[in-house]
Each structure stands twice: as structure tokens, then as C-alpha cells.
Amino acid sequence: MVYPIVKFGDPVLEREADNVTEFDTPELHKFLEDMFDSMYAAKGVGLAAPQIGVSRKIAVIDCSNGENPDEKLVLINPQILRQEGKQVGEEGCLSIPKFREQVRRGKKVTVRAQDVKGVEFEITGEDLLARALLHETEHLLGRLYITHLSTLKRDLIKRKIKKLQRAGDWD
């Protein structure tokens, strides 16, 4: 099932999601399948559960855009453990469509998370994967990438979004 993507302005995107405490249930397996379907349908490389209106600490990532099943990644209750180096590059968010901005991020990032069975693991990614690990983990804390921009830039984006909302071009 493909869920519609929740857009900026919905409070679910800006609050910390709930921890997942039950693993390996048929509901969780189905939900993860739906998250991948929703992410591919929206042509994203990552999706966090709050972006489909579910406030739970679950995210999926696939930097290969569905080309390589080995790159499918499920993060449950993720935490950022380490960041090394710096990269500056364009970043966007399915919940803030039509905008892309330069964001400075760690170049190499290690996250600890649980898998669908609740087993803890660590993953280290560089470049695009590092950016996706940070972006999605922050979603689950209620933090959007625009919080990394200058106040000036962020306010400009918010003003443009308000205009789009008023014109009925946002939902």
C-alpha cells in the first residue's frame, strides 16, 4: 500500500516519534513493506514513518532507488553514534517538495539501530548514505533538514510554503 506523504506544517513532522517496542509482528512486516512502496512511489531515497503520519521510530533508506536489493535498509529506534568529516551538498525532503538547499553534513556517519526482529546493529555510511542516515534519524526526533539552514533562508522557505498553502498548492 502506498501512503500519501505528509507535508511540512503537519505537527507530526516536528515531534519526536515513539519508540518501537514490539518486533517481528505481521503488522510491522506489512508496515515496512508499505514504507518501501511509499518511498519508491514518491521517488525518495529515504522515508521516515512520521512522513506517512505514523509517529513511530521507523525509517527506510535505499540509495539505489530500488536498483539493488542489498541497499535496502530498515532503521528502527536509530541513534547517531559518530560523525566524521564534512560534506556540503544539495538536500531535499519528500515532506518539503519543490525545495532543495545546500546542507553541511558529516561525511562518514555511524548509526546504531534495531532491525525488524529487534536485533541491534551498527551501520556506517559515507556521502549520500551518510546524509540519508542523518536526515532520516533526525526525522524521528522531529527535526527537519531546514533547521540546518540559516534563519534567513529558513524563514524565506516558510514564507514561500505559506504562499503555496494559501494557493491550495501544498496538500
Q: Least distance from C-beta 44 to Zn ion, angstroms?
A: 8
Residue type, 153: K
* E strands present in the chain: 46-48, 58-61, 73-84, 87-91, 101-105, 108-114, 120-126
Q: Are 78 and 59 in contact (CB under 8 A)?
A: yes
- Using CB under 5 A as the binding rule, the residues of this chain from 63 to 122 that contact Zn ion are 93
Closest CB to Zn ion among 73 and 93?
Answer: 93
By beta carbon distance, the residue nearest Zn ion is 93
Closest CB to Zn ion among 93 and 134?
Answer: 93
Q: Give yes or no: 136 in active site.
A: yes
Closest CB to Zn ion among 23 and 164?
Answer: 164
Residue type, 61: I
- DSSP structure class, residue 123: E
Number of residues that bind Zn ion (CB under 5 A): 1
For 16, half-sphere exposure in the C-beta direction (CA atoms, 13 angstrom radius) is 7
Question: In whole angstroms, what is the distance from residue 2 CA to residue 37 CA?
Answer: 6
Q: Least distance from C-beta 125 to Zn ion, angstroms?
A: 16
What is the pattern of x (binds Zn ion, CB under 5 A) and - over residues 140-159? --------------------
* E strands present in 66-119: 73-84, 87-91, 101-105, 108-114
Other Cβ atoms within 10 Å of 116 Cβ, number? 16
Q: Which residue of the set 91, 101, 136, 138 is catalytic?
A: 136
Closest CB to Zn ion among 49 and 93?
Answer: 93
Q: Least distance from C-beta 48 to Zn ion, angstroms?
A: 7
Q: Least distance from C-beta 52 to Zn ion, angstroms?
A: 12
List interacting residues with Zn ion (CB under 5 A). Answer: 93
- Catalytic center residues: 136
